[in-house]
Amino acid sequence: MASILVTGCAGFIGSHLTEQLLHAGHRVVGLDNFDPFYDRALKLRNLTACLAHPRFSFHEADLRHGLDALVDALPADPIEVVVHLAAKAGVGPSVHAPVAYLENNVIGTTHLLEWMRLRGIGKLFFASSSSVYGNTPQRPFREDQNLLAACISPYAASKLSGEMLTYTYHQLYGLSVLNARFFTVYGPRQRPDLAIHKFVRLLRAGQPIPVFGDGTTARDYTFVLDTVAGIVQGVDYLLAQERVYETINLGNNRPVPLLELIQAVGQAVGVTPTLAFQPMQAGDVDVTYADISKARRLLGYAPHTPLAAGLAEFVRWLDAQPAE
C-alpha cells in the first residue's frame, strides 16, 4: 500500500476520496486550508470518520503561503503520490474575483510542484475541470482538443494553467502526471453554493428555482463516488507507471439539460418546481459532455450511478444533517 498526500482533503470530493483510500489500505496525509468560501464546520464534519483512523494524519496549511508553509506543515515521511484537489472552485465567483483564483489555483499549485520537486516526490494526480473546454463546438469533449482559445472564465483559465504547469514539471523534472478533468460532480457533502444543493433548499422553502437562460444548457452530472472511483483508479495507474503524462476526462458521458435536472430534483424532493427565468450568467458554458473512452481504456473507469439514484442519495444525506 502507498502513502498518499491529498490536498483539499476536507472538501466535498477530497473527504470522500480520503475515506476510499483509507478503506483500500493506503496511508493518507491530508492537507486543507479551510478556505472561508463556506463554513469550516461543514468541512470538519466531512472529516469525522477520517480523523479517527490510524492511517490518517491531518495538517492545516495554505498552498499560497509558499514552500516554507509546506515544509513546516507536512511531515518528512515518504509520500509516493500527491492527489491535488485543493483549489478555489466555481466559475461564477471567479468572474468577480479573478486574482483570488489565480493566487490559489496557479500560484498555490506552483508552490506544491516545487515542494514535490525538492522532496523528490515523482507522481501527481491533478484535478482539472471540464470548464477548460469552454464553448468549443466539438462534442463530446476529447482530451486532445486544442484549448488555448477555449477558456471563458478565470476559473477555467486557472485550471488550464495548472495543466500547463504539470506538463512543464513533467518535461523538466520527470514528474509523472495524470490530469483529470472533472465534470459537474454532485452528491453527499456537495458545497452549499452548487446548483443541486440550492435547488433542494429552494424547493423545500416553497421558492422558485432560477433558470439562467432558456433551460437548454446541459451538464454532464457525475455522482461523487463515480468520480472518486476514477481517482482511486488513477492513483493505482500512477503507482504502476515508471514515467507518464496523460490527461483524461472523468465524466458521465450524458449531458442533462437544466430543465430536466430541475424536474429530477423536484421528484427526489417530492415537490413540483416553479421556475424563474433569468439571463445567462457570465462565464457559463452551454454544454459539458465528456468523452470517457480514454479513461475507460487507461483506468477501467466506468461510472454507473443514474441521476435519480444519485439525487436520492444526496437528499437522504441532506436530511440527515444537523439543523444549522
Report the CATH number at residue 232: 3.40.50.720
Who contacts 44 (Cβ-Cβ below 8 Å, separation ≥6)?
10
Mean pLDDT of the 87-101 span:
93
Query: Is 234 contained in some domain?
Result: yes
Who contacts 59 (Cβ-Cβ below 8 Å, separation ≥6)?
29, 30, 31, 73, 74, 75
pLDDT band for 44, please (50, 70, 90 cuts).
very high
Q: How many domains would you assign to the chain?
A: 1
> Which domain covers residue 93, as residue numbers?
3-183+223-253+289-304
Please state, as a whole number, how many other Cβ atoms lie within 10 Å of the Cβ of residue 320: 8
Q: Is the pLDDT of residue 323 over 80?
A: no
pLDDT band for 84, please (50, 70, 90 cuts).
very high
In the residue annotation, 155 being an active-site residue is answered as yes
The pLDDT value given to residue 324? 58
Query: Is 319 contained in some domain?
Result: no
Query: Is 196 contained in some domain?
Result: no
Query: Is 245 contained in some domain?
Result: yes
Query: Is 217 contained in some domain?
Result: no
d(CA 183, CA 11) in angstroms, rounded, equals: 16
Query: Is 142 contained in some domain?
Result: yes
Query: Is 261 contained in some domain?
Result: no
Which of 133, 155, 289, 301 is the catalytic position?
Answer: 155
Query: Is 67 contained in some domain?
Result: yes
